[in-house]
């Protein structure tokens, strides 16, 4: 399960519903991308599959090895599906960002929204918690419906699914070069 640092509410059960919803959305998105790239069920996809390598490379920087990218994307899905907290490596984070934005652009091109509602029972619980916090905490100035939209709509996912912006430098540097530059500071 993706590790999410953001506490959306002060209620642990509401946060658990939100994290599960986000993780399920990402899982579905990654499976769809893998199956689209490989032309087969994601459970049968191997990193050595040339068609899959070529098609999934779209989600990685140009300099990244195609088989490494194919493996990284499958590892990203494996980590997201895990029961343990998962923090993607820099290339997996790059791919996660690319997959999110590819889906958002796909929706925009078709005039659709990339938002999806939580399952009704969880949504009802979460919105009640958000409304209660909004009414009882004078520091909480964000409307509950707007707060709900931050995790139902993919537009804001980068804010809590990526851990720093280092992955954005991968278009111009390798992970090793980024790490070396970080150590110089």
Contact 76, 95 (CB under 8 A): yes
* Residue pLDDT, tens place only, 22-36: 999 999 999 999 999
The pLDDT value recorded for residue 105 is 95
- The answer to the question of residue 1 being in a domain is no
**Owning domain of residue 58:** 12-184
Instruction: Report how far residue 6's alpha carbon sits from residue 15's, in angstroms, rounded to the nearest whole number.
Output: 9
Handedness of CA 91, 96, 100, 102 (dihedral sign): positive
The pLDDT value recorded for residue 141 is 65
- Closest of 91, 51, 48, 54 to residue 73, by C-alpha: 91
Structure letter (DSSP) for residue 110: T
The pLDDT value recorded for residue 69 is 96
Low-confidence ranges of the chain (pLDDT < 50): none
The pLDDT value recorded for residue 160 is 80
- The answer to the question of residue 78 being in a domain is yes
**How many other CB atoms are found less than 10 A from the CB of residue 21?**
19
Number of domains in the chain: 1
Tokens of 30: 């990654």
Instruction: Report how far residue 65's alpha carbon sits from residue 70's, in angstroms, rounded to the nearest whole number.
Output: 9
The pLDDT value recorded for residue 132 is 87
- The answer to the question of residue 6 being in a domain is no
Instruction: Report how far residue 47's alpha carbon sits from residue 173's, in angstroms, rounded to the nearest whole number.
Output: 24
- The answer to the question of residue 67 being in a domain is yes
- The answer to the question of residue 153 being in a domain is yes
- The answer to the question of residue 95 being in a domain is yes
- The answer to the question of residue 131 being in a domain is yes
Contact 80, 27 (CB under 8 A): yes
Instruction: Report how far residue 97's alpha carbon sits from residue 7's, in angstroms, rounded to the nearest whole number.
Output: 21
Contact 96, 26 (CB under 8 A): yes
- The answer to the question of residue 2 being in a domain is no
The pLDDT value recorded for residue 17 is 95
pTM for the model stands at 0.88
């Amino acid at each position: 399960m993706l590790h999410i640092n953001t506490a959306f509410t002060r209620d642990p059960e509401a946060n658990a519903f939100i994290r599960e919803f986000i993780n399920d959305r990402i899982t579905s998105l990654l499976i769809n991308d893998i199956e689209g790239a490989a032309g087969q069920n994601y459970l049968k996809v191997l990193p050595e599959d040339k068609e899959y390598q070529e098609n999934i490379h779209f989600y990685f920087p140009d300099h990244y090895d195609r088989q490494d990218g194919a493996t990284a994307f499958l590892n990203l899905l494996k980590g997201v599906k895990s029961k343990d907290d998962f923090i993607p490596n820099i290339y997996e984070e790059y791919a996660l960002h690319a997959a999110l934005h590819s889906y958002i652009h796909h929706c925009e091109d078709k005039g659709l929204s990339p938002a999806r509602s939580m399952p009704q029972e969880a949504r009802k619980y979460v919105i009640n918690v958000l409304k209660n916090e909004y009414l009882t905490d004078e520091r909480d100035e964000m409307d509950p419906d707007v707060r709900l939209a931050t995790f139902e709509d993919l537009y804001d996912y980068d804010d809590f699914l990526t851990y720093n912006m280092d992955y954005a430098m991968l278009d111009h540097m390798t992970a090793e070069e980024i790490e070396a530059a970080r150590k110089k500071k």
